[in-house]
Amino acid sequence: MSLTVKGRATRERIIEAASRRLRSEEPGEMRLDDLLADTGTSKGQLFHYFPGGKEELLLVVAGREADRVLAEQEPYLSELGSPESWRAWRDALVARYGAQGENCPLGSLMGQVRSTAGVAAVVSAMLRQWQDHLRDGVRAAQAAGTADPGVDAERAAAALIAGVQGGVHVLRSTGDSGHLEAALDEFLDRLGRT
Amino acid sequence: MSLTVKGRATRERIIEAASRRLRSEEPGEMRLDDLLADTGTSKGQLFHYFPGGKEELLLVVAGREADRVLAEQEPYLSELGSPESWRAWRDALVARYGAQGENCPLGSLMGQVRSTAGVAAVVSAMLRQWQDHLRDGVRAAQAAGTADPGVDAERAAAALIAGVQGGVHVLRSTGDSGHLEAALDEFLDRLGRT
DNA sequence: GTATTTCTGGACCCGCCAGTCCAGAAATGC
DNA sequence: GCATTTCTGGACTGGCGGGTCCAGAAATAC
């Protein structure tokens, strides 16, 4: 399937609309007809560009959204090491998710697709990357002597990912960011050698 | 609305069936017709006992399921204090969720109802109770001298809840219980004075 | 400038499933 | 007992929403 310039633009417009709607106040279930209304396109076009229908489209969107999660944490994520860098990352995360409020693009996405398998895989891969960055950050801090060398970097990173995920989850359903902050701060306390 | 003995039994049967289906291998979306088939009841009855329809029914089920979550952790939860009791609780949790696999009754429930508000409230309340138990456990351990007194019990409990929630979430979508275990173990390490 | 491919619009189909309605059976009240 | 309330079954409705189809417009190829 080769796309013309115009075609690629339309396809992009559809993805963009889905993505935007997902990040909007009330994502709810995403209906194809809404997207068509948003973009001024038609059923024919949507299925022309996404023969797999809704599922295929959402999978593409999931990929974009996953990339965005990591991209939004740069440059913090790649620069973890010093206590200040950890702190900055922590603050950025809290600010980011606090502003986002009850909404969580990938979270909503997980609930939309019947066979969640595809989206789940995308999310897993993203989590894995995220965790790797954190683990490297812990090791860097240990190498620099600013973190307790007794901490198992891999396990600590896994626990941190769990804490962040859970914190965001609670934030999503209660609007309270306390759990997210608690998870982050407990981690930082444990990291720093006392 | 007063219920006869028979009436109460039927109502109970419906709730029970919904509850069971939620905990089954593949909960997916819950269809009213399935419940009717499971229980040998009819639409008329279902709407007779739950005038609010599906939403009302699921809210009742949510309450039951939330109680179950806490009940299943007894007697561990009320007896937290000694290192052994924490360990036993940890193992019970991992075993419990490991066995459950990718499924999570309350998790699926959250995705089912349009206005998730009701179910979310039930879950929040349950989480709050859970967290209180954990906090008390931390304090008990501190009082007994088996936990670092420098730890803020409330915040540590919040972080632990976040970790457990996130761990279960990851377990749910990948089938890997590593994150849950990591979160629990990191917490226990931090708790124990080294 | 003709042929081929890609793009676009929208009418239509169809399965799904929550919710309605009502008529008759069973229980309960007195 | 008769009247009243509760219980039960199932046919029916209605809307929602994903997916199909096809005819014609626009772009591209050569």
- Listed as ranges, residues in chain B with pLDDT below 70 are 1, 113-115, 193-194
Q: Express each pLDDT in A176-194 by its tens digit.
A: 999 999 999 999 999 985 5
Instruction: Classify burial at A73, counting beta carbons within 10 Å of its beta carbon; exposed 0-12, middle 13-18, buried 19 or more.
Output: middle
For residue B24, what are the domain limits?
1-51
Same domain, B117 and B135: yes
**Closest nt by CA–C1' to A51:** D19
Q: What is the CATH number of the domain that holds A16?
A: 1.10.357.10
Q: Give the residue ranges of chain A where pLDDT is below 50.
A: none
Examine the domain organization and report whether B29 and B69 are in the same domain.
Answer: no
pLDDT tens digits, residue range A134-154?
999 999 999 999 999 999 999
In terms of domains, do B130 and B153 share one? yes
Check whether residue B75 and residue B141 sit in a common domain.
yes
| Cβ neighbour number for residue B73 with a 10 Å cutoff | 17
Looking at residue A28, its pLDDT comes to 74
Say if residue B35 is in the same domain as residue B124.
no
Statement to judge: residues B43 and B61 lie in one domain: no
Which nucleotide is nearest, taking the CA of residue B114 and each C1'? Answer: C18
Is the CB of B182 inside 8 Å of chain A's CB atoms? yes
| Inter-residue contact B155 to B143 (CB < 8 Å) | no
Pair B44, B69 in one domain? no
Chain C footprint positions (protein CB, under 7 Å): 5-12, 16-23, 26-28
CA pair distance B187, A109, nearest whole angstrom: 30
Are residue B118 and residue B176 in the same domain, yes or no? Answer: yes
B62: phi then psi, degrees, rounded to nearest 5: -60, -45
Pick from A116, A123, A180: CB nearest B162: A180
Same domain (yes/no): B28, B102? no
Split into its structural domains, chain B has a count of 2
